[in-house]
Amino acid sequence: SDLRMPLVWFYALGAVGASVAALLGALRAIELARGQHPQVGGVAAAADSPLLLVGDSIPDPIFAELFRLQAAVTILGGPASVSANVANGLAIWGPVTRLAGDDRYETSAAISAHSFDPGVAVAYIASGLVFPDALSGAPVAGKQAAPMLLTKDAELPDALSAELARLRPRSV
């Protein structure tokens, strides 16, 4: 059956996160991002996937739960956000997809391009320099199955302009 759930945040804190994952049962996909960058939560919510926030490693109980679930893993961010060691550790049970760009702005555009078709109702834009802006907007973006794109304070990055042109949102 189609698993529909609200965004679930798994903080990589050992058995607590693993216990929450066990309650969800079978999953089709899991999104993985750096613990300091949970603004990508809207993508996980739109995909009906949990978002696992990690550091430089995955605690053993979380790893065991991921192994048990056997869900596809998509890493949201480059190697500076989620290390190659974490990605390699996940690859033992299948391919791991990484969505990233040269910086946070390109990464937000790459995640959006992979996750959202043109013609979305709305696209959200938040500062890529002020963490709480994107963090507070991510649940709204997720609930509306809308992308959350990051921008600079004084200019619109080229990657963001190109992604907005591709998305053609009715509202920004």
pLDDT in tens, 84-104: 888 888 887 677 888 899 998
Kindly report which listed range (21-25, 80-84, 158-162) carries the lowest average pLDDT score.
21-25
Shortest CA distance to 51 belongs to which of 117, 5, 15? 5
User: What's this model's pTM, rounded to 2 decimal places?
Assistant: 0.76
Q: Which amino acid is at 53?
A: L
Residue 39: its pLDDT value, please?
54
CA distance 54 to 44: 15
Query: Across the chain, what does the average pLDDT equal?
Result: 75
Give the pLDDT band (50/70/90) at residue 12: very low
